[in-house]
Structure 1
């Protein structure tokens, strides 16, 4: 049986284990964070090719590269396997501005977006927001799960949000010192489409409870209380998701789509997407996912 290393121990791990086992793939959790990791024993090592033996042995492929890149480099070296989504795929998707730029160059619809690289004077921010209408969305360039995303209703509130970002970016250890100013699409419907090996594989609509919306909340992130309901997207949305994955060159991708006033745009992508319940995807979702994993493993032989 093929052995697949998975560095997430959350929902995705629990959901994919049995379906992939039925298709000849054993999914094993490899803890990459919140632990100690042996980097070197000071000698030639005690495993194959001089590497320490043990928990990282016997794998054929990895699912997606660890989210923390520093720990990921050690885990990657220990496993010595190809990844369905490797480090480059994760980095490509994590860079929100880079994704928007690549998709815009490919002629795909995206929200109007400007990237700001700190430190800059207030005059630069003022000039950057001039083409937009308020409110605008302000978001860190490489955060996930809606962390740090806010709206600004005027220039003063925008500069206030930027002040907080400046405090964070002032720390020298901060890697990404950029953020995005983006047009706000009110009352947009929020979809996460899955693409597996270049083909649409299903989608969910993410929606906050009515009382949350009435309270003024607008970020439809599942990790912030939104519910994900399986939906049957129209052809134009399916094609947009597939073209997004093709433009970025990522085999396994979550594509976040926003639909408002007849517009359909790609808002973000995720190369480490959470897998939802199988009933929310196409019937052959796991067959195609298993085939992609097997092909990835074969490429590393």
Structure 2
């Protein structure tokens, strides 16, 4: 039985444990944060054959990876690449992959720089931290004054010397866009979900993050959506990737990617989802 290290013990851990066990892979939790990590302990660390995704906290992740000496399906580089929203958008656009019109602001800058940066965008615009997840800190600005007000709060955060990422993204707002998360494993899209706000929450809201109350409904993705997600994963060279797609009446774009994607219930993906995931895990373990 192959031993797989998984650094989350939330939804993904619970959902993948039994299907992977049926395929000869034992899923075990590896706590990588909110604990003491011995750096020089001579005792042998817990043994794993392979890890699913490198820990999201990069400092702890480096220490844990060095102590365990295991390969990750998605290693540190994949996590760093996907986490950098601006880097992803720039790389995909350079490869001819459609993304929303976006500009990155690197603080500190004068207000005039922000105003000039959005001169070619129409209000409202979306403002988002460059490296946050789960929709944290994402806001919509309806005019220049509200945009600069949001920027004031970002400036306060970036003023702290300990803040590592002092950048943010300003992006065109795509009204009434349908929001999809496509899953790509080893180059192939294996299904996806559409994220929608339930009727009781939809009035006056536009974010579709599951962690903010949206529901993920399994859908049969069109070939165009699948191919676009696969192109994005190939360009970023990430073997296990959630690709967020926005679709309007006349456009389909890659909005963000996630190299630490939450796995939904199996019926929301293609029938061979777990066969492909198990195969990628085994392939990664064999590279060690």
TM-score (norm 1): 0.95
1:260-279 to structure 2, matched below 5 A, reads 260-279=248-267
- Rounded to whole Å, the distance in 2 between the matches of 1:175 and 1:9 is 27
The corresponding residue for 1:17 is 17
Distance 2:221 2:193 in 1: 9
Give the match for residue 249 of structure 1: 237
Match of 1:49 in 2: none
- Does 1:132 find its partner at 2:155? no
1:62 corresponds to: 51
Instruction: Tell me the CA shift for residue 210 of structure 1.
Output: 2.1
Query: 1: CA distance between counterparts of 2:223 and 2:191?
Result: 12
Query: Does 2:83 match 1:98?
Result: no
- CA shift, 1:37, in A, is 1.0
- Quote how far apart the aligned CAs of 1:213 are: 2.0
Match of 2:6 in 1: 6
Report the secondary structure of 2:86's partner residue.
helix
**Cα distance, 1:287 vs. partner?**
0.3
Aligned with 1:192: secondary structure? strand
The two structures, once aligned, show a CA RMSD in angstroms of 0.7
Structure 2 distance, partners of 1:27, 1:208, is 32
What residue number does 1:53 align with?
A: 44
For 1:137-156, list aligned pairs within 5 A.
Answer: 137-156=126-145
Partner residue of 1:76 out of 65, 69, 91: 65
Shift of 1:261: 2.0
Task: Deviation per CA, 1:169-190: give whole Å up to 9, x if none.
Answer: 0111111100000000011100
1:174-189 mapped onto 2 (5 Å cutoff): 174-189=163-178
Q: Deviations over 1:68-87 (max 9, x none)?
A: 00111111111101100000
- Alpha-carbon distance between aligned partners in 1 of 2:199 and 2:252, rounded to the nearest angstrom: 23
Alignment size in residue pairs: 288
Between the aligned partners of 2:88 and 2:69, the Cα distance in structure 1 is 28
Matched, 1:170 2:159: yes
| Unmatched runs of 5 consecutive residues or more in structure 1 | 46-51
- Specify the alignment match of 2:149 in structure 1: 160
Are 1:224 and 2:215 an aligned pair?
no
> By how many angstroms is 1:13 displaced?
0.4
Where structure 2 has 5 or more consecutive residues not aligned to the other structure, the ranges are none
Residue 192 of structure 1, CA deviation: 0.2
- Between the aligned partners of 2:7 and 2:201, the Cα distance in structure 1 is 33
Partner of 1:207: 196
Q: Does 1:299 pair with 2:282?
A: no
- CA positional deviation for 1:129: 0.9
Is 1:37 the counterpart of 2:37? The answer is: yes
